Amino acid sequence: MVKNKTKDIQIGAISYTKLSIYQQCPFQYKCYLDKSIYHRYHRDTPPLIFGSLIHGVLCSFYKDLLVKERNHQQMRRLFKEKFLADQIKHLQIFKNKQTINQYVAKAKQQFSNFLDSRFVKTKPYLVPEKNQRMSIGNLELLAKIDRIDKNKQGLEIIDYKTGKLYEPGIDPLQLNFYQLVISQKYPLLPVVRKTYFYLDSGKEISISTKASDNKKTLVLVKKIVKQIDADQEFKPKINSKCRWCDFRTICPLQRPDTTNAPF
């Protein structure tokens, strides 16, 4: 288990999200791990909540619907039910009817793209309701995987994306990390394909699968974990996502006068 020495924060299981945030900005990572800071400054946004709703619908599509019920109308019904299940919160986030209508239209299009895809034609081998956990040595790995399919050659890992496709921004570590976890959990079923499916456009981006992937990924994971464990300062780092960071107002690089920062 890794420990954040500056605040004695127990990091717990290692996830792709944690690794990615640290690589992006150690200061953001520190804020993310400190729950008192996270809950004070984190704000849910329409794209974030929309993504959660869509993922929930795609999970229920297989777990809660009969085969004959798996259609566009039922997906819209599920979306509405999940929105209304926390209506007060969702209305506060989406703020007005116009924004809600925009995201409803976006949901309809993404459902259509999904129903036109190859993924709807087969039954997934696994649609995990819970995070997949595996231990490798002294590392506990946690993977939140959307879907795993099985064919004659082995397994395919699929990650649904509800945002726009931007190829230069694709991080292969996410799917490689998932492959590492799934390979440990299902050692007799090789991962033969790893795919990002962009619901907004209906396009797929597949990451190549090689026999050496798991070894290389584990080396990289251990390297990042070692960096985290040795980090005493967690300095901020300017990156392309700074403008959307929850902790922008307390970042020393964005606001040099940080006398009110909670550290």
**Residue 128 three-state SS:** coil
Enter the pTM of the model.
0.89
Q: What is the mean pLDDT of the chain?
A: 91
Q: 148-167: per-residue pLDDT in tens?
A: 999 999 999 999 999 998 87
What pLDDT does residue 115 have? Answer: 97
- The CA-atom distances, in angstroms, between 216 and each of 134, 157, 210, 248 are 17, 18, 10, 33
Question: Are β-strands 3-4 and 9-10 bridged in parallel, bridged antiparallel, or unpaired?
Answer: antiparallel
The answer to whether the Cα torsion of 11, 195, 246, 88 is positive or negative is negative
Query: In terms of Cα–Cα distance, which of 170, 161, 177, 53 is closest to 113?
Result: 161
Q: Which amino acid is at 250?
A: I
Q: How far apart are CA 104 and CA 75, in angstroms?
A: 12
Q: 29-59: per-residue pLDDT in tens?
A: 999 999 999 999 999 999 999 999 999 999 9
Paired tokens of 58: 């795609």
Q: Which amino acid is at 66?
A: L
What pLDDT does residue 6 have? Answer: 47
Query: In terms of Cα–Cα distance, which of 156, 78, 137 is closest to 110?
Result: 78
Residue 81 has pLDDT above 60, yes or no: yes
